[in-house]
Amino acid sequence: MAFETKLDCRHYLGDRPCRFHCRGACEHYEPMGFRVLVIKTAAIGDVVRTTGILPAIHRQWTPAHVTWISEPGGARILQNHPLIDQLLTFEAAGILTATQQHFDLVLSLDKEPGPAALCNRVPGGEKRGIGLSPWGTVTPLNKECEPYFQLGLDDDLKFHDNTKSYPQLIHEAVGLPYAGQPYRLYCDERTEAAIHAMFEPWRQPGKVVVGVNTGSGRVFANKTFSPEKWVTVCERLLDLGHTVVLLGGSDEINDNQWIGDRLGGRAHLAGNGHGEQEFVAIVSQCDAIVTGDTLALHVAVARDVPLVALFGPTCEQEIDLYDLGEKIISTHECVPCYHRVCEKDPNCMDVISVDQVVEAVGRVLTIQPKRAVAR
């Protein structure tokens, strides 16, 4: 009997049997359909909020097969997403794999030469978003992308005139209808169970768990409080009877340990060496979180966790919390600025008071969304 292989079947794996364990043609054959490549490599928070375009892709083209290429951290956090069929990393092997495929549509959303060059290089039908010019500079590929592209070139437009959120902007940039749906992240059951077990000893009857995310990345100055101010915030939350868990990444190891020491062991440290999927599960275990404009904010939105979001140097209007919480926006005269270095004293985060944060936490704890995770 001849061995027949359907290379365009979405179940075909090549290196091992498919889940139906078929030897060739079978009733489970399912063509990939309309093939879409999404190029969004960094930053990881932007990768997360860009997933909002996935439902629109699948509504527009049925069936659709979506390949997403991202930096390794972005690829890891997108694991288990049911609307992504193939994840590639923006490294040599992933780039080579992408350039040897044909796509019906390429959506390129990074304003960086490398990803833009990949968009140019990939064989495909229509290309929307950001490409690379003959001079090595990034350029919009379609008319709908021009307003989004212009925001990066005009501070007045970005800081003061624009009223659209990032999800709306990128939908419009690639010509997709925006239905106002939030973005989503998914964890595997094993990871969720492990993090649930980690939190279990910290839970007490009648107490809520407030995650305090102290970090903000290295790019922009003053996206978070000083460690001293976080100590005061945590003390107030603890005095109200809340359970406080300190969140952060590898950059916050020393700060979180210092904050924990000043709190005399009353706050719990979630640890700073977790992978991206573990961090998603950690945020999901909190009843609410307090965070600056950073990854934890987008994870909370993607997992339906109530939150208080602090804004200083970045544009709050580009962030949609989808009725999950409150924004506290600095009233400092120079915000937003997107400066990488700031020597102002007081700075934009200094003028946000501890009272504002604590009172906002009390209000958002009354939000009872349909949680994306059972705890």
Is the predicted pLDDT of residue 10 greater than 90, yes or no?
no
Higher pLDDT among residues 321 and 28, named by residue: 321
Q: How far apart are CA 15 and CA 215, in angstroms?
A: 41
Q: What's the pTM value of the predicted model, to 2 decimals?
A: 0.92
d(CA 367, CA 338): 31
Predicted local confidence at residue 217, as pLDDT: 79
Q: Give me the helix-helix angle, 227-239 and 253-262, nearest 10°.
A: 50
Q: Is the pLDDT of residue 222 over 90?
A: no
pLDDT exceeds 50 at position 374: no
Residue 24 tokens read as 């060739």
- pLDDT: is 117 or 1 the higher one? 117
Tens-digit pLDDT profile for residues 56-68? 999 999 999 999 9
Q: How far apart, in Å, are the Cα atoms of 90 and each of 38, 61, 71, 180?
A: 12, 25, 5, 29
Burial class (CB in 10 A: 0-12, 13-18, 19+), 135: exposed
Contacts of 348 (CB under 8 A, 6+ apart): 222, 312, 313, 330, 332, 334, 335, 337, 342
% of the chain surpassing 70 pLDDT: 95
Residue 68: how many CB atoms within 10 A of its CB? 25
**Gap between the Cα atoms of 325 and 363, Å rounded:** 8
Query: To which residue do tokens 């075909």 refer?
Result: 12
Handedness of CA 40, 185, 328, 273 (dihedral sign): negative
Among the ranges given (14-18, 25-29, 119-123, 317-321), the one the predictor scored with the smallest mean pLDDT: 25-29
- Taking alpha carbons only, the member of 227, 320, 242 closest to residue 286 is 242
Predicted confidence (pLDDT) per residue in 242-274, tens digit:
999 999 988 899 999 999 999 999 999 999 889
Per-residue pLDDT at 24 exceeds 80: no
The pLDDT of residue 375: 45
pLDDT in tens, 113-146: 999 999 999 998 999 999 999 999 999 999 999 9
Q: Please list the residues that pair with 309 across neighbouring strands.
A: 291, 327
Top-confidence residue, 148 or 341: 148
Q: What is the pLDDT of residue 25?
A: 65
Which tops the pLDDT comparison, 11 or 309? 309
The domains located in the chain, with CATH, are 1-30 (no CATH), 34-173 (3.40.50.2000), 189-364 (3.40.50.2000)
Q: pLDDT averaged over the chain?
A: 92
